[in-house]
Amino acid sequence: MNLDILQILFFFLDTIGLWLLFRMCGENKWWALVPLYRFYKLSQCAQKEENGRTFFVLYFFNYFFQIISSIIQNFFPQFNGMVYMLDVLSLLLGIGSFVYKVRIYIGMCDVFSVSKKWVALWIISTGLGALVFALKKAFVYTPSVKKSAASESGLVAQETKEGLSINIKKRTVGGLLNKRNLLKDIHLNIPKGRMVLLVGGSGAGKTTFINAITGFEKADAKILLDGKDVYKSFEDVKYDIGFVPQMDMIRYNDNVRKTVLDAASLRLPISISDKEKNEIVDGVLDEFGLKAVEDNMVGKLSGGQKKRESIAMEFVSNPSLFILDEPDSGLDGVLARELMEHLHRISREGKIVIVITHSPDRVLDLFDDVIVLAKDADRTGRLVFYGLVEEAKAFFDRDRMEEIVKVINQKEEGGLGMADELIVKYGEIRNGRK
Amino acid sequence: MAGNDVRHRGGFRQIPIYIGKFFRMFIFMDDWKVLPFSALIAALVSYAVGNTMFVTMEGTMKGSLALTCVLIWNGFFNSIQSICRERNVIKREHRSGMKIGAYLSSQIIYQAFLCLMQAVITLAVFYMAGMKRVSSGVVTPFFLVDLAITFFLISFSSDMLALMISAVSKTTTFAMTVMPFVLVFQLVFSGGVFALQGGASILTNFTIAKWGMCAICAICGYNSLPTFTVWNQLQNLKGYEYEGMYPVQMVVDNIERTGNVEKFCMEIASNNQVAQYASTPTNVLNVWSYLLDFAIVFSLLSLFFLSKIDKDKR
């Protein structure tokens, strides 16, 4: 009975404390009356929303198992054996939710710029912690300031029968509690035979963009490759897209020739005979300088050779859209240049070659166009620029791509934080052209 | 450019590609080493179990538990890393046209081959170690064939369980962390280590270990074997004195004098018979079907989990 009274007292203390705190950090104070969900709101105050979501889920299931356990004990005593299991589960979830709760409290100390020692008070009683933080005059709520993100450009890329037409409205992840935009408002046309550089700071959405245009991760978008809708006809179009991932996603314990041959068997139409397939594989191995090592194990190849093996696997089906995610990582300047020259030659065969690289300046002369992506103030990937390399230099008033990336990176990442204004500027220029 | 009329290799035709790949890895890389390892572990266990297996109830119970452990261990180690270690490669190939069903079917065929080899090796090692042979089989006319099928099914269903864990796991570290817990569950809830009661006894039905032991005990005729536990206890109690007399010694001497030791042990054993160890074709076939059901369910779950591979976060 005493315990029940104590629990009720703590509940009211939490409610009052959180009511005052929510008023301070701009949340709707009525949420303080809603058990459990108010902790999620507290995590938003503490700018620890992700931790708040995990806490919410863990705590919810903890409660759920406790309720089931209580029902079994009271109404189904014959299943009492299960109660122990449920209590153990509940304990595990309780430990997890406690850790996430502490993370939220630490976030609270951060946004109030006070010592982490105050976490102890929060642990003793959330209500007490909230009351002190809300009422103590020396404690000032100072969350990191959020800039407002650039508005949408209102542009739409014209749908074409040739080349790659990209119209991405948005690409979101998460559900009810954690919906988040990864990409937004990206519209462009890439004609055939172009070698395109894709740059952006880390987290700008380069790989998400690639996955969206290849149809691997669908966005709210319309992507046309030579007039074919990539999403609607993915099963057909996927064989026409070659994607070389950043990491060497190849089996090291298979030999070079067999790896390319198996890739050819998967990618080429069944109408191609074994003899023709072997000839194609021979040609590709020769073109990528792998003929001499065709009987070696992939794991025994050098870094450059592994990269070429990975590219050869995609090239074997002669795709018209060829995308490479950091193909030059781990390669020295000479090898990287050779590889890019090779890709340049491939683009001249009427293919679209899109390359992500973190060292673009050493091979910039090989690229025709550049796509610049950046995170806006809402941390959503946005298109800052698409056009000729020389136009990009003029637009950003910088000679080097690495300097351009610095200009668009947010300030907390060591950049100049100009992404939002440049997104608007680019949109205005393009709208003006229209 | 690929048109609508261009046909690519379907799932069924992709199976030989992957079977070829797995067997190349078996021959040229380290995968073949699971076979000598299974022989080594079988040799160690057969040495520890001794030659009472299939001779007495106690020896058979101990031996069948040890054998089941060896086979589960083999199955686990065959496949626990096989999918998660190449998860990125699978994801890439899936995007290039590989069918998950084809990949998994190839894995299952390859794993079945490994399990079959290991079952034969384990049987050979136990045979060489002097394991007693029962004169005939329960389902087939041959005891060794019945035992080989059982060994294969135990190993294969465990293999499929580990394959499912591998399909769920994003990293090899995670898979190797989960594996001991699953293994401990299999052994503790097998019912062979200690008797379980209440709700816990229901859980035994969900272990490969329990049904593995059932199959082995049924095939070797566990219920027709003698038990020497009580006899050995009586021998130890011969010195027990009651009102100046030695009643236990009198009983023991009487049984020995009349040459009824074996009859006595058989009578004691008749009280320890277990219905699930009945040496009937129906019972053995039922147990085999349970083991096969485990394998099928785990394979389907692997397929379900692996088909979500495109949703992997970076």
Q: What is the DSSP string of A213-277?
A: HHTSS--EEEEEETTEETTTTHHHHGGGEEEE-SS--S-TTSBHHHHHHHHHHHHSBTTS-HHHH
Could you report the per-residue pLDDT of A4-17, keeping only the tens digit for each? 788 888 888 999 99
Residue B2: pLDDT above 60? Answer: no
Residue B3: pLDDT above 60? Answer: no
Confidence label for B54 from pLDDT (cuts 50, 70 and 90): confident
CB contact under 8 A, B4 and A236: yes
First-to-final CA distance of chain B: 30
Q: List, edge to edge, every strand of the sheet that includes A195-200.
A: A228-229, A220-225, A164-173, A180-190, A381-388, A369-375, A195-200, A352-356, A321-325, A241-244
Candidates A183, A139, A146; CA nearest to A49 is A146
Residue B1: pLDDT above 50? Answer: no
Partner residue opposite B17 with nearest CB, options A214, A251, A262:
A262
Could you report the per-residue pLDDT of A365-374, keeping only the tens digit for each? 999 999 999 9
- How far is A377 from chain B, CA to nearest CA, in Å? 23
On whether any CB of chain B is under 8 Å from the CB of A265, the answer is: yes
CB contact under 8 A, B6 and A267: no
3-class DSSP state of A36: coil
Write down the pLDDT at residue A147.
61
On whether any CB of chain B is under 8 Å from the CB of A239, the answer is: yes
On whether any CB of chain B is under 8 Å from the CB of A305, the answer is: no
Write down the pLDDT at residue B196.
75
Left if phi > 0, otherwise alpha if psi is -120 to 50, otherwise beta: which for B274? beta
- How far is A19 from chain B, CA to nearest CA, in Å? 37
Residue listed under structure tokens 């081959």:
B113
On whether any CB of chain B is under 8 Å from the CB of A231, the answer is: no
Minimum CA–CA partner of A258 in chain B: B21
Contacts of B200 in chain A (CB under 8 A): 81
On whether any CB of chain A is under 8 Å from the CB of B89, the answer is: yes
Please give the residue that has the higher pLDDT: either B128 or B140.
B140
Choose, out of B13, B19, B93, the residue to mutate when testing the contact with A (most A CBs < 10 Å): B93
Write down the pLDDT at residue A177.
62
Write down the pLDDT at residue B20.
92
The residue extents of the domains of chain B are 2-226+274-311, 228-271
Q: What is the mean pLDDT of residues B78-84?
A: 94
| List of residues 6+ apart from A232 with CB closer than 8 A | none
Contacts of A238 in chain B (CB under 8 A): 95-97
**What is the pTM assigned to this prediction?**
0.77
CB contact under 8 A, A265 and B9: yes
What is the mean pLDDT for each group of 10 consecutive residues in chain A (434 residues)? 76 91 88 88 89 90 89 84 82 90 92 91 91 90 71 75 90 74 90 94 88 89 92 88 86 91 92 93 91 92 89 91 87 84 92 91 93 88 93 92 90 83 87 60
On whether any CB of chain B is under 8 Å from the CB of A237, the answer is: yes
Partner residue opposite B14 with nearest CB, options A216, A238, A266:
A266
Candidates A313, A308, A315, A306; CA nearest to A258 is A313
Q: Is the ipTM of this complex over 0.85?
A: no
Please give the residue that has the higher pLDDT: either A158 or B143.
B143
Write down the pLDDT at residue A258.
93
DSSP-derived secondary structure for B193-220: SS---THHHHHGGG-HHHHHHHHHHHHT
Using alpha carbons only, how large is chain A's radius of gyration in Å? 28
Contacts of A245 in chain B (CB under 8 A): 88, 92
On whether any CB of chain B is under 8 Å from the CB of A69, the answer is: no
Please give the residue that has the higher pLDDT: either B86 or B197.
B86
- How far is B11 from chain A, CA to nearest CA, in Å? 10
Contacts of B6 in chain A (CB under 8 A): 236, 239, 269, 271
On whether any CB of chain A is under 8 Å from the CB of B88, the answer is: yes
**CA triple A289-A265-A311, angle to 5 deg:** 35
Q: List the structure tokens of B145.
A: 């064939």
Partner residue opposite A250 with nearest CB, options B8, B89, B198:
B89
On whether any CB of chain A is under 8 Å from the CB of B25, the answer is: yes
Return contacts of A356-361, CB within 8 angstroms, 24+ apart: A356/A198, A356/A199, A356/A206, A356/A207, A356/A210, A356/A246, A356/A324, A356/A325, A356/A326, A357/A197, A357/A199, A357/A326, A357/A327, A357/A328, A358/A326, A358/A329, A359/A328, A360/A197, A360/A199, A360/A401, A360/A402, A361/A400, A361/A401, A361/A402
- How far is A166 from chain B, CA to nearest CA, in Å? 18
Contacts of B91 in chain A (CB under 8 A): 249
